[in-house]
Amino acid sequence: MPENMLRKIKIFEDLDDGSLNKIQGLMKKYSFSAGEMLFKDGDPGEEMFVISKGAVSIFIHDSTGNEIVLTDLKEGTCFGEMSIIDKENRSASCRIIEDTDLLALHADDYMKVIDSMPESATKIMNRMVSTIVERIMRTGAFVAQMAQYGEESRKRAITDPATGLFNRRYLEESLEGLVTKAITERSSISLAMFDLDRFGSLNSEYGQQFCDELIVKCSEVFRNVFSKEDILIRYGGDEFIFIFPEAGAAESQKKCDDLCEAVRSMKFTEHEELKLTCSLGFASIPETACSLAELKEKSDQALYEAKEAGRDRAVGAKK
């Protein structure tokens, strides 16, 4: 770590070089590999960390056990500041997402700073409070909303009101954590993208009200076809994304084929002539993708291939 890199960290930027060197001398050095857990919610907390290289992800679990990523932190940032003050158990979990080097300041060593450099300790504390407030305002609004308004508000924030499925916000906050968990644990995870075939034409022919009702009926079909462990998300309009935890390519193919058949079998008393079909594209870690970016890219490409091949089918990504 470059000399006095601590000066790049906001809570230390008011200190002189002598104080910085003394504090850096008190800090322990750690190195971690991508995928390792640094700490979990509920673990004892008596160290704050400075990232000298790499990146970490801070996340919590919702009431169903799904991960909600609060923030990703990179080189030059610190976290866990309050643990050296109140020594409370961790209120979130931290996973290493790149090979990472950390400096850690233990609560006992911070007490040494207070005893030997009280003026520096006061400056650190003032900056620490300011930094924590900014972080809460920037990344903690969703968590604050959960605490203030309760479970019902939390559900509304991440749920599509028409179908009751998860919404795009839930996907953006949770997918990275789910994928990282699968990679870390060397398990499978699949992502499928779904479109109703020629939905724009249906809107023109049957009207928006009927098509809105049609989307709701489709969501009921999804629930019947998929298991309780599968994560169903309305991305927008007739676009849906399905996440299959611990499901590989073969199992995902069957799930998607079953859904195609179920959509073909849908009946509408007010429009008996209507025959629906759908197209799906999916990819699986580790069989056909090895990262979140590749999982999304290959699922999208597979969906395109399904449409190009004539629609009314599910296509899996290639290796």
Residue 147, pLDDT above cutoff 50: no
Q: The tokens of 275 are what?
A: 């025959």
- To 10 degrees, what angle do helices 292-308 and 168-185 make? 120
Q: What is the CATH number of the domain that holds 23?
A: 2.60.120.10
Number of domains in the chain: 2
pLDDT of res. 219: 95
The predicted pLDDT at position 155 comes to 66
260: in domain: yes
**pLDDT surpasses 70 at 149:** no
Structural domain containing residue 250: 168-316
Percent helix, strand, coil in the chain, to 5, is: 45, 25, 30
**Residue 185: both structure tokens together:** 């644990």
Domain identity same for 122 and 183:
no
User: Do 134 and 178 belong to one domain?
Assistant: no
Report the range out of 50-54, 69-73, 193-197 with the highest average pLDDT.
193-197
What is the token pair recorded at 195?
């479109």
- Could you tell me which of 281, 269, 284 has the C-alpha nearest to residue 307? 281
If asked whether residues 203 and 293 sit together in one domain, one would say: yes
Mean pLDDT, range 85-112, rounded to an integer = 88
Amino acid at 261: E
Specify if 162 maps to a domain: no
| Cβ contact 158:67 at 8 Å | no
Determine the angle formed by the axes of helices 107-116 and 17-26, rounding to 10 degrees. 150
Do 271 and 231 lie in one domain? The reply is yes
Same domain, 236 and 139: no
| Average pLDDT, integer, range 123-151 | 60
DSSP 8-state code for residue 166: B
Residue 289 lies in a domain: yes
Residue 156 within a domain:
no
The answer to whether the beta carbons of residues 47 and 94 sit under 8 Å apart is no
Tell me, what CATH number does 280's domain have? Answer: 3.30.70.270
> Is 311 within 8 Å of 277 (Cβ atoms)?
yes
Same domain, yes or no: 120 and 230: no
Residue 240, SS3 per DSSP: strand
Please state which of the ranges 93-97, 110-114, 238-242, 302-306 shows the lowest mean pLDDT: 110-114
pLDDT of residue 4: 58
Q: Is the pLDDT of residue 122 over 90?
A: no
- Kindly report each contact of residues 150-157 with a partner whose C-beta sits within 8 Å and lies 24 or more positions away, as own/partner: 151/63, 154/62, 154/63
Q: What is the pLDDT of residue 150?
A: 47
CB distance 127 to 12 below 8 Å: yes
Tell me: the pLDDT tens digits for 282-297?
999 999 999 999 999 9
Average model confidence (pLDDT) for the chain? 87
Write the DSSP assignment of 34-77 as a string of letters.
TT-EEE-TTS---EEEEEEESEEEEEEE-TTS-EEEEEEEETT-
Query: In the structure, what pLDDT confidence band is assigned to residue 136 with cuts at 50, 70 and 90?
Result: low
Average pLDDT over residues 105-125: 86
Residue 54 CA to chain centroid, in angstroms? 18
pTM of the complete model: 0.55
CA distances from 201 to 206, 211, 276, 290 (A): 8, 10, 12, 37
CA 287 to chain centre: 21
Quick check: is 38 in a domain?
yes
Compute the distance between CA of residue 255 and CA of residue 314 in angstroms, rounded to an integer.
9
- Partnered with residue 174 across adjacent β-strands are none
Which amino acid belongs to residue 312?
A: D
Q: How confident is the model at residue 264 (pLDDT cuts 50, 70, 90)?
A: very high
